[in-house]
Structure 1
Amino acid sequence: MAGLVVLALAPPGWAQAPDPAPYALGDWKGVRQTLHDRGVDLQVTYVNEIASNARGGESREASYADQIMLDANFDLERIGAPEGASLHATLTNRNGVDLNEKGSLGLLLSPQEIYGYGRTTRLAQLYYQQTLMAGRVTVKLGRLPMSGDIFPFSCEFQNLGFCGAVPGYITPNWHTWPASQWAAAIKSRLAEKLWLQTAVYQVNPTFTRPDQGLELGNPSGTTGAHAVAELTWTPHLAGLGGAYRIGVWRNTGKFEDLYFNEAGSPIGQDGGRPRRLNHASGYYLMAEQPLHPAPGDPRRGPTVFANFIQSDEDVSVVGSVREVGVFWRGPLASRPQDTLGLALGRLGVNRKVRRRIAQENRGASRAAPTPHAEYPLELFYGWAATPTLTVRPNLQYIHNPGGLAAKRDVIVLGLKTSASF
């Protein structure tokens, strides 16, 4: 997923011929070059994730989930459109089963990030892009997922908590890749190392249904809009370029209060139907900074990262996410294209949910356990078998699954494989 999202977000390099080296099928016997000369660049990417719970869950299981993607970029200048105009389209097809469901692991987030939104084909992106003011401003209009343009974290890890638009996985009415909505996004360069990105997405849960995967229209069901603003600072510290981001969002969809009922009193104490809310908001912080590169090869070396997300505790069971980790490019001098990754996170169940459970337990014959926080950890090694194929065996350890200290910790053995054609 991450590779295709990054490709779609990057300004297309139409001036240069495509390099066949990163593709398993090379130049497609000249077809790729011919299409490129006519302003069309294509890429097919396949990702497969296998997972097995060596410990935890209700039963020992193994599962796979996969995704195949077709991405197309069209240089519209070739047909007389304004300079900097392009069209981008992405189709995805997902299959498989989620280990979290199959093994009843009870995790807050899946150990297979590639799973989600049904086993179906979807129009993940279809948008017009226009660069303006010598590249200082980029505008997108069309169908976009509520991810990629904001919270641009990679998906090299297999655990969903360390992949992509994590705020969307814990926030209701935030529909992430590969489900798309009608949207507009603008990225503006404010200063040499300062960027502002804003995006407004339609909120229509109908688009997440499998039968809407390839629909181009606008079915009924729109409940509001999702607006995000992200400020990015890209300084060079000790000669190494990092990225520091702060983002805020507000969603005007329909929500149910987790704590208060329609009368304004606690549900856990007085019962009743949840209070209806017409908005939710939150914010996030991101930091990514390379450290000392390997002598003689600046491409090799560690990059540390830290992310913090605060969701709306009125509507989100997981109120906050904290995570830190490192990517180590070329950990071995003999394997400069390999990557070692380590991440540790904390998914905090919000205090209103805990308070409601405590209130419900006062009158119950049997007390329900109160969740607090889940702690996922993942270690992977990405072996670049060829320029087109990467294999990432990984080990995931999840402490307090579901935020429950009484539950047995979960160990997941995983294998993530990605290839470009």
Structure 2
Amino acid sequence: MQVAAATDSARASPPWNAKALALDNAATTTQERINTGVNASALGSSWTEVRVVPKNDRLLGSLGGWRERLSRAGFNFTLTYMSESLGDVAGGRRTGFDYSHQVVMGTDFDLEKLIGLKGLSFHMLGVQRAGRSVATDYLEKTGLIQPQQDYGVGGNVLYKLVYMYFEEALFDRKLVIDVGRMPANLKYGTSYFGCYAVSNVICAHPTALSVGSKWRSWPFSQWGVTARLNPGQDLYAQAGFFEASATEGGRAGFNFSFQALGYVVPVELGWEPALGHDKLTGHYKIGGYIDTSDHPDPFTSVDGTPILISHLPARVEHQRGAWYVGADQMVTRFGPAKDQGLILFGLAGWDQGASLQGQSQYTVGIIGQGMFPSRVTDAISLFWTWQNVNKKITRYQELQQDLGYATLKNGVTLPQSNFQVLELTYTAFITRGLKLLPDLQYIVHPDATRTYPNALVAGFRLLAQF
């Protein structure tokens, strides 16, 4: 359904009045985006004045009205299928094609509607993943670059629990508290705009900050509590306290044992304005985390000399972390939906400590959503990201090279330094509940070395919401 239909009241009012924007903002909820792992619907589900996608943006529609009845009673469910089929068509280690998929299954219970507990809700979600990695099969050896966002742990098991937590909304949702099992970075340092890209390096948080840390993303889970304060003026502040888990939920995610190696404490401050007469929406954030679990220094031994020289155990780092800044801002509006315009995007992060695999990451992007009158639900996006490897890992590999090692740390043949990904993606709304995203990625320095030629990866993401 691609043609916008307007009511009489919409024709009499400006095309992007405050009422339309507020209703659209409610249509594409934070929970929808969390449930799918990407933007749940490119332009939201529905709003009164203008409708450019079906009211039930699901392949199965309203299920004969049962979906609405269940929702009014306090029960909502999520079932999505996402596949990412990509091939290395030039450069890299060798050419070839791989398929991977992710099935998301979740439920949300409004306990105020169900049993009268004011402001309380319960959320549970799991995934099933399968397929192969185009990165390690064809692109490079380490898996440092992951062109498929849905590839990773959680495969070969029918249901891997990602989160299961209670949410309490207080003071007209000015304070929201979540308690239970969930990834520590589920709501920190993320942006659903990043998931207009297919690459895991961009979607949906900076991997240089999280890979190898206990600031985990799905499908991992850990015990934790997080609170978000919304004082008004489009401002928010949030902080959390999480177990640095030894088990991370186990194979199926249902290992609920508490075996803390330390604790993860994330903090984020943000501003989400709608600027000017055209209500140009934006999101600005600054945040970071501390991880108190112990980890070995990758270069330095207990006596302060290089491990390769002293042959002594590594020095133990007792605390590490990272901080980040991010922003997106609509600069031109094409229509009334919240994200229907030209949007500039940026996210940068820096690791603090010796033992994380990354050093820093910088990502910028531009998204044109609903820019074609005949394809108002479609979007085109261009992203560029640069990620630097931990300098201590580079120094270790350089020393190995000087000592005549044929294979260096991480299985590479040259010291690692940095890599870049340039990605162009088109988001095409095919029909109710179905999107196709053709994708091109140009990868500079696969493996973060010059061992293999720069690579061109091509393919698509298919997202079906039931």
**TM-score, structure 1 length as denominator?**
0.90
- Which residue, out of 66, 88, 94, partners 1:53? 88
User: Residue 142 and residue 8 in structure 1: after superposition, are their counterparts in 2 closer, same or farther (change >3 A)?
Assistant: farther
**Contact residue 122 and residue 213 of structure 1 kept, 8 A:** yes
Identical-pair percentage: 23
Partner Cα distance (1:136, 1:118) in 2: 35
Partner Cα distance (2:381, 2:373) in 1: 16
2:358 corresponds in structure 1 to 318
Partner Cα distance (2:36, 2:438) in 1: 27
**TM-score, structure 2 length as denominator?**
0.82
**Contact residue 347 and residue 364 of structure 2 kept, 8 A:** yes
Q: Which stretch shows the higher mean deviation, 359-368 or 72-81?
A: 359-368
2:271 corresponds in structure 1 to 233
Partner Cα distance (1:87, 1:276) in 2: 39
1:184 corresponds in structure 2 to 225
Query: Structure 1, residues 294-332: CA drift from partner, whole Å, max 9, x if none?
Result: 278875321011110111340122210001001110232
Partner Cα distance (1:97, 1:345) in 2: 23
Q: How many residues align?
A: 410
2:66 corresponds in structure 1 to 31
- Structure 2 unaligned blocks of 5 or more: 1-29, 40-46, 48-53
Partner Cα distance (1:315, 1:408) in 2: 29
2:334 corresponds in structure 1 to 294
User: Residue 208 and residue 129 in structure 1: after superposition, are their counterparts in 2 closer, same or farther (change >3 A)?
Assistant: closer
1:67 equivalenced with 2:95 (yes/no): no
Query: Structure 1, residues 31-58: CA drift from partner, whole Å, max 9, x if none?
Result: 3233223211112111111011112333
1:260 equivalenced with 2:300 (yes/no): yes
Tell me which amino acid in the other structure corresponds to 2:219: P
- Which residue, out of 390, 400, 404, partners 1:364? 404
2:6 corresponds in structure 1 to none
1:284 equivalenced with 2:327 (yes/no): no
User: Residue 208 and residue 254 in structure 1: after superposition, are their counterparts in 2 closer, same or farther (change >3 A)?
Assistant: farther
1:142 equivalenced with 2:180 (yes/no): yes
Query: Structure 1, residues 190-209: CA drift from partner, whole Å, max 9, x if none?
Result: 44122101112212141254
Residue 352 of structure 2 aligns to a residue in which SS?
coil
Partner Cα distance (1:323, 1:72) in 2: 33
Partner Cα distance (2:117, 2:228) in 1: 18
Residue 204 of structure 2 aligns to a residue in which SS?
coil
1:113 equivalenced with 2:158 (yes/no): no
User: Residue 255 and residue 41 in structure 1: after superposition, are their counterparts in 2 closer, same or farther (change >3 A)?
Assistant: same
RMSD over aligned CA atoms reads: 2.5
Tell me which amino acid in the other structure corresponds to 2:379: T
2:347 corresponds in structure 1 to 307
2:235 corresponds in structure 1 to 194
**Contact residue 126 and residue 163 of structure 2 kept, 8 A:** yes
1:275 equivalenced with 2:311 (yes/no): no
State the shift of 1:94 in Å. Answer: 1.1
**Contact residue 100 and residue 129 of structure 2 kept, 8 A:** yes
State the shift of 1:182 in Å. Answer: 1.1
Residue 161 of structure 1 aligns to a residue in which SS?
coil
State the shift of 1:246 in Å. Answer: 0.5
User: Residue 401 and residue 313 in structure 1: after superposition, are their counterparts in 2 closer, same or farther (change >3 A)?
Assistant: farther
Partner Cα distance (1:152, 1:365) in 2: 39
- Structure 1 unaligned blocks of 5 or more: 11-15
Q: Which stretch shows the higher mean deviation, 236-245 or 338-347?
A: 236-245
